[in-house]
Amino acid sequence: MYVIAIASPAPAAAPMRIVSLAPSVTETLFALGAGPEVVGVSQYCDYPPQVLGLPRVGSFLTPNLEAIIALRPTLIVGLELSSDVRQIRALNSMGYPVLLVSDDSLNEIETSIEKVGARINRQDQARRLVAQIQSQVAAVQQRLAKVKPQRTLMLVGHQPIVAVGTGNYLDELMRIARADNIAAAAGEQWPHLSIEFVIAMRPEVILDGAMGSDPASSDFWQNYPTIPAVRDHRVVGYAEDPMLHAGPRVGQSLEIIARKIHPEAWPDGAAAGASQ
């Protein structure tokens, strides 16, 4: 008598339980198809809409240790800025796997996508996502190849006046979009500027985040008609989403910035992957 042994299939690996401590990380996880494995997000995560119903666990600088542990995570992903945060060190000491990434530049965003993809076994998806971003950037650069750079001020707040300075991804996007960032002269990432500084620097374009949520804030600029951007009606608002969200939608943010600074490069108004 012969006995035929039939091998039992290997048990399927249990799905990961991922906690994200930053909006850019959350967006990356969902863009890579790992949304169903995300069990907790930071208090600032708001995209995609599926995250709105997930448990909140603080932020990358103030993570809620108890809330994170209660979710029984198999991976916690945050930003390198929090590497010295007490709660992150505690999670490491308790044996919870922690992955830290950066999002202060276009290269760091792409590298973070690849690092997260490798950690959650989605390398192919990460490569495709990075290639998509690079294609979006190249398309904008091609559009702007012959335009003249514009002296530009990008604001994220009015009281006080807070601008996009140097050393962050938005400053890099502005430069790719053929803008001379006047606030870079302050030498800070998010400088607080005086209106006297703005008047003296004579921006030709002002991107004002406050106008994206409160159009009435445009009245503020009417008091300063000598500023070229005001005189020439080149003060425009922008929506915080996606502009102030580092992560996989950075190519879309670049196109929005470029269209607002150089509308002449899109004379037909045709969308090329982003809406204004």
Residue 81 has pLDDT above 80, yes or no: yes
pLDDT of residue 85: 83
pLDDT of residue 175: 97
Residue 16 has pLDDT above 70, yes or no: yes
Question: What is the C-alpha separation between 95 and 218, in angstroms, rounded?
Answer: 52
* Statement to judge: residues 172 and 111 lie in one domain: no
Specify the number of domains making up the chain. Answer: 2
Asked if the structure places residue 40 within a domain, the reply is yes
* Statement to judge: residues 31 and 70 lie in one domain: yes
Instruction: Calculate the average pLDDT of the chain.
Output: 90
* Statement to judge: residues 104 and 46 lie in one domain: yes
Q: pLDDT of 195-224, one tens digit each?
A: 999 999 999 999 998 876 666 667 889 999
Establish how many alpha carbons lie within 13 A of residue 126's alpha carbon, considering only the half-sphere containing its beta carbon. 19
pLDDT of residue 213: 62
Tokens 């969308």 locate to: 271
Phi-psi region of 21 (alpha: psi -120 to 50; beta: other; left: phi over 0): alpha
pLDDT of residue 3: 47
Asked if the structure places residue 8 within a domain, the reply is no
Residue 270 has pLDDT above 70, yes or no: no
- Which amino acid, residue 69? I
pLDDT band at 274 (very low <50, low <70, confident <90, very high): very low
* Statement to judge: residues 116 and 214 lie in one domain: no
Residue 10 has pLDDT above 60, yes or no: no
- Domain end, chosen from 136, 164, 189, is at 136
Q: At what angle do helices 123-143 and 250-261 cross, to 10 degrees?
A: 10
* Statement to judge: residues 161 and 239 lie in one domain: yes
Q: pLDDT of 227-261, one tens digit each?
A: 999 999 999 999 888 988 999 999 999 999 999 99
Q: To the nearest whole percent, how much of the chain has pLDDT over 70?
A: 90
Question: What is the C-alpha separation between 103 and 253, in angstroms, rounded?
Answer: 14
Q: pLDDT of 91-124, one tens digit each?
A: 989 999 999 999 999 999 999 999 999 999 999 9
Asked if the structure places residue 4 within a domain, the reply is no
SS3 sequence of the chain: CCCCCCCCCCCCCCCCCEEECCHHHHHHHHHCCCHHHEEEECCCCCCCHHHHHCCECECCCCECHHHHHHCCCCEEEEEHHHCCCHHHHHHHHCCCCEEEECCCCHHHHHHHHHHHHHHCCCHHHHHHHHHHHHHHHHHHHHHCCCCCCEEEEEEEECCCEEECCCCCHHHHHHHHCCEEEHHHHHCCCCCEECHHHHHHHCCCEEEEHHHHHCHHHHHHHHHCCCCHHHHCCCEEECCHHHHCCCCCCHHHHHHHHHHHHCHHHCCCCCCCCCCC
Domain of 156, in residue numbers: 147-265
- Domain end, chosen from 81, 114, 136, is at 136
What's the token pair of residue 137?
């950037």
Asked if the structure places residue 271 within a domain, the reply is no
pLDDT of residue 9: 52
pLDDT of residue 276: 39
* Statement to judge: residues 131 and 164 lie in one domain: no
* Statement to judge: residues 103 and 127 lie in one domain: yes
Asked if the structure places residue 101 within a domain, the reply is yes
* Statement to judge: residues 208 and 231 lie in one domain: yes
* Statement to judge: residues 127 and 151 lie in one domain: no
pLDDT of residue 216: 65
* Statement to judge: residues 52 and 117 lie in one domain: yes
Here the CATH number for the domain that contains residue 76 is: 3.40.50.1980
Q: pLDDT of 140-186, one tens digit each?
A: 999 999 999 999 999 998 888 999 999 999 999 999 999 999 999 99
Asked if the structure places residue 275 within a domain, the reply is no
pLDDT of residue 212: 63
* Statement to judge: residues 75 and 173 lie in one domain: no
* Statement to judge: residues 156 and 72 lie in one domain: no
